[in-house]
Amino acid sequence: MDQKNVNLFLAHLEFQKAYSQATVRAYATDLEEFEDFLQGLTLSISHLENVQKKHIQKYLTYLFQQKLAKSSMARKMSCLRSFFRFMLQKKIIHENPTAGIANPKQEIHHPTMLNVDQVVSMLDEEIEDDFSYRDKALLELLYGSGLRISEALALNLQDFHEQRNTIKVFGKGGKERIVPLSDTSKKALIDWIEKRETVATNLQELALFIGKRGKRLNRREANRIIEIYRKKVGIATSVSPHDLRHSFATHLLEGGADLRSVQELLGHSKIATTQRYTHLDMDMLLKVYDKAHPFAKNEDKK
């Protein structure tokens, strides 16, 4: 296996896309497993020019035969899409063999929260036209900063503070808050604003997110964008803007963030709202309590 291209790709994920160490390690493992499969076909990542769409389809069939969870299959396919797209950008290959191959539909019933792999798959979909930069920036804000869809659509160009890595948001009741941006959200916004200058038909429009007619993007169009992306990555049932906001909050808490900080990020006036808003069982809430409260009986504090 040619580690040069793989290492280049993994470095791109870590330093330019700002993926977590856990996600980078998972992608590295996925590529090792894909290499093992290719070798069974007398192919290799060392010779990517020989890998064709039919081989990717065979790999997907192989994953089904292994009876993996569909979420795991989706992540592995997301990894391959990102890898081959990156190789295409670097002109190491001339065709992307993963193009047009969808993820297996996820076994999710009435989802109210996405797992991390599903979110990564949506955010990592390829750019198809100038407005795809808008879509990417919108999705990044809904998940990366947990904005309400109304807050995202109300943003104006001047609300983005590039130097401070923040965006000014007007929440319910006109309450203003400053929200931090992830590195990927900031890059997505910069890319979209650059493209926006070339597609804007109404130079007087101040909205950050505009539709193809040049006016402020509306909620119906935003819902349609999310539906397009969830279908592309094979999520079985509808995903709403609020589902991305829910996922943002829950993933933060599962990662160790305290409830009060998440409350501030979400713009909730009452912490009880944040608790109801997230998908935490009592065990998780007790862990948050034990870790943060000065009177909690936490062995680590002794």
Closest residue by Cα to residue 247 from 95, 126, 90, 117: 117
Residue 68 CA to residue 183 CA, distance in Å, equals 32
Distance (Å, whole) CA 26 – CA 30: 6
Residue 242 bears catalytic tag: yes
Look up 19 and say whether it is catalytic: no
Question: What does the block give as tokens for 133?
Answer: 């930069």
* 13 neighbors 27 (Cβ within 8 angstroms): yes
Q: Is 302 a catalytic residue?
A: no
In the residue annotation, 230 being an active-site residue is answered as no
> Which of 25, 175, 215, 242 is the catalytic position?
242
Q: How many residues does the chain have?
A: 302
Q: Between helices 241-254 and 219-232, what is the axis angle to 10°?
A: 60
Q: Residue 249 and residue 91: Cα distance in Å, rounded?
A: 38
**Two tokens, residue 247:** 């996922």
Nearby residues of 270 by Cβ (< 8 Å), 6 or more positions away: none
Asked if residue 230 lies in contact with residue 122, where contact means CB atoms within 8 angstroms, the answer is yes
148 catalytic residue (yes or no): yes
Q: How far is CA 118 from CA 16, 142, 146, 167, 279, in A?
A: 20, 14, 16, 25, 16
Catalytic residue among 81, 195, 245, 246: 245
160 by Cβ neighbours in 10 Å (0-12 / 13-18 / 19+) ranks as: buried
Q: What is the largest CA-CA distance in the chain?
A: 63
Residue among 85, 230, 251, 268 flagged as catalytic: 268
Catalytic residue among 25, 47, 164, 172: 172
Q: Cβ of 180: how many Cβ atoms within 10 Å?
A: 13
Catalytic residue among 148, 216, 279, 287: 148
Catalytic residue numbers, as ranges: 148, 172, 242, 245, 268, 277
